[in-house]
């Protein structure tokens, strides 16, 4: 987890392993609309806070 601009500024390397994943249920609007789309990227290195949730 992190703060967006701090995390974006911390990115110092992006991989050459670009991959696209399917997103099948993104909701938006009133009445709610579910939409399909793609999202992707390579491996990304940056600084963030890591913690276990249990």
Partner 1 sequence: MEQISNKNKIQHSAQEIALKASQLIDAKPAKEEKATVVMNPDFVSLLTHEILGHPSEADRVLGKEMAWAGGAWWKGKIGEKIGSEKLNVFDDPTIKESLGWYYFDDEGVKTKKTTLVENGILKNHMQNRETAEIFDTPSTGNMRATNYRFMPLIRMACTCIGNGDWNVNEMIKEVKNGYLISNMKIPSIDMKRYNWSISCQYAQKIENGRLQIY
The reply on whether position 25 binds partner 1 by CB under 8 A is no
Structure letter (DSSP) for residue 25: E
The reply on whether position 54 binds partner 1 by CB under 8 A is yes
In the complex, least distance from residue 7 CB atom to partner 1, rounded to whole angstroms: 8
Residues 6+ apart with CB under 8 A from 43: 14, 15, 17
Distance separating alpha carbons of residues 27 and 9, to the nearest angstrom: 29
In the complex, least distance from residue 6 CB atom to partner 1, rounded to whole angstroms: 9
Sites of contact with partner 1 (CB under 8 A):
1-5, 7-24, 26, 28-31, 33-54
């Amino acid at each position: 987890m992190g703060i967006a601009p701090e995390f974006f500024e911390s990115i110092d390397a992006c991989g050459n392993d670009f991959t696209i994943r399917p997103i099948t249920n993104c909701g938006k609007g009133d009445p709610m609309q579910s939409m399909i789309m793609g999202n992707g990227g390579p491996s990304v290195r940056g600084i963030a806070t890591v913690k276990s949730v249990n």
